[in-house]
Structure 1
Amino acid sequence: MGIFKIEGGIRLKGEITPQGAKNEALQILCAVLLTSEQVLINNIPDIIDINKLIVLLGNLGVKIEKKGPGSYLFQADNIAIDYLETEAFKKEGGALRGSIMIVGPLLARFGKGYIPKPGGDKIGRRRLDTHFEGFINLGAKFRYNREDHFYGVEAPDGLQGASMLLDEASVTGTANIVMAAVLAKGTTTVYNAACEPYLQQLCKMLNAMGANITGVGSNLLTITGVASLGGCEHRVLPDMIEIGSWIGLAAMTQSEITVKNVSWDNLGQIPNVFRKLGITLERRGDDIYIPSHQDGYKLKTDIDGSILTIADAPWPGFTPDLLSIVLVVATQAQGDVLIHQKMFESRLFFVDKLIDMGAKIMLCDPHRAVVMGHDFQSQLKATTMSSPDIRAGISLLIAALSAKGTSIIQNIEQIDRGYERIDERLRAIGANIIRE
């Protein structure tokens, strides 16, 4: 198990380029299973979760060739479908949440797909019902082995297009259903579909492969099934969660940082929410410039003067993956804010570590916390802590970089699951961080 040792209280300066988007890459990589032709994907992040999925694809029989940094060529022309029923797959697939998205492509192309109960962050219950109800609507038969938590869907005669209303706008659920429907007979309509930029990217890639998907970017997708898909080349968007992390880091450490090539048009509410925290953002081409905020940042209030509330919501609402960042940044703001984490019930439980560092936070319940900002009048104090999940981990790292003294963060594998070479990239802009 590795640790980060961080000397805090250092102002940083420089440019940082976001990695490719983890959440898009997980979908895009699964989509290579839909064709026997070559698919070239660029800007793939070099992180634990993505590398685990690439290994899983290789064990399924996908030919994989690394063409350069972040660039891979895939060809799924000889899939070992029987691997899905091995003990090795049960162990491997269960270690990664994103493995659930291999089921839709395999079901569409080979008539069956299996998956053990996926792992991932411990942030509360994460339902799989949307995925499997969608497959059942398309004509698949579902089975579940309770003893080893193993899910299966089968459609030996192929899938049939259908109209469906999703019970929730699940991103991975929508992606899985779309990947199944592109090879189904007839037309499928998916209402209450997720419409995040990463889901839009998946649909654009599938259309480039020969699929027929309309309504991309809306919550109503229409998929007309085709007989087969071909190859394509695709580039993954920059990671909006990492971009938000760098904005929060700059403000919290009162640093002057430029985040390069952010794809502004795909950031949605992110710039607006940070501006509500009083953070100055300047658009320079496709870059974000954040000044040093040496005089601090003042929280806005609602239009009637009441306390600001920041809550997550499905796209185009504010992403839940950045609420942990917003919370830690608010600890040094001028003013108070209510953080309302609606979508996951365990993501706020890391605040006890911030309270140990001197932050003023009142945890109201598993979903809500009130943060009373210090306005930099009282610096956070260094401590030893453990990263419970990816987003809490990066939030604690930002807190440590702003704190007085030397902090230790344990269980940094959680951070490495979502952030590529983060210690090296932080050192490049002046941070004192050591991996041990």
Structure 2
Amino acid sequence: MSIEVKVPTLGESVSEATVGQWLKKPGEAVALDEPIVSLETDKVAVEVPSPVAGVLGQILVAEGETVTVGALLGTVEDGVAAAGNVPVAPREEKPVPPASDTVAPAAAPAPAAAAAPAPTGDDAGAAALSPAVRRAVLEHGIDPSTVKGTGKDGRLTKEDVLAAAQAKAASPAPAATAAVPATVAAPGRNEERVKMTRLRQTIAKRLKSAQENAALLTTFNDVDMSAVMAAREKYKDVFEKKHGVKLGFMSFFAKASCLALKDIPAVNAQIQGDEIVYHDYVDISVAVSAPNGLVVPVVRDADKLSFAGIEKAIGDFGKKAREGALTMEDMKGGTFTISNGGVFGGLMSTPIINPPQSAVLGLHRIEDRPVVRNGEIVIRPMMYIALSYDHRIIDGREAVTALKTIKEAIEDPTRLLIDL
């Protein structure tokens, strides 16, 4: 009996997705709840599990096509044990002459034929690849058998695939000349066109929308990191031994931000229609770099968490982002954002708010600079910090005061303990 596979509910305010990759071929055995297709939404990648045990039947939507919630993706033949014994797609024989990896996107006329997985999926080792790695392999056209894995037991990681893709782009690839008609091009002036992922398209739309709809302004300050660095150096070993997580700078800035947001509620508020919504809780969106772009999972009730709780939450989000395992629930909500461009060496920036939030704190690299203390020039580890805010709801005085509160709490961490 054929069981329909449909697009599941994707989360709040998400109504459509793009078919990223079919993880199984027609006729292949699937277990109950085993992922058979991945979907790319505006926020995260979602894997659709098999509703029953059996074999994959028809594939009705090709990779790269847009689907809405409830749309029919394909079928699973319930109770069929033998793979390849399904009266599904006699056209499976058609793709036998595999012209090249570049043919897959062009084979879209018939849904069943177009849905054939990328050629790399034929490798025996492909079954061992995680869904995140499969997506990276498909997106960059990398043959996994040619890449040495650095993960556990020699498994391939997404970073391995991205490194291989960079190496491939840096060297003259014969596939590029095969995909282009026989025209003579000047050496060293090749071009590559890659379709934007749904996540990247959404990032572009949201950032542009923030600039167009909000009255953005940025205020700056600098922070002497001496006290925080000394505290971290003194307690990092004991902290890690007790809590099983490293003590980083982000927990200090998160707690300092909570202090400032409680003092200046407008920085933690949002505009909804002609109303201002104030929150008595602090859900901090932490900007995390993922292979497909910047994502902002939410540390909920950060004002109630300990330093260890914040560090654990941020560490878990970073790992899930690298593995492509973030969920809709991880991304939902958020009242304030912290973005740390310092990990990439950034000295100063003007971060853009994450709508509908009204403010974002930008952190930057720490460097020794001469400053005046008690009438003397001394060298201190300094960091520029920036607060971008929506001037429609936050006045300049409030923004400057909030940033100054964060600065003072970092320069004197005792304030974090006595709520000052």
| TM-score, normalisation: structure 1 | 0.25
Higher-RCO chain (CA-CA 8 Å, sequence separation at least 6): 1
Decide which structure has the larger Cα Rg and report it: 2
| TM-score, normalisation: structure 2 | 0.26
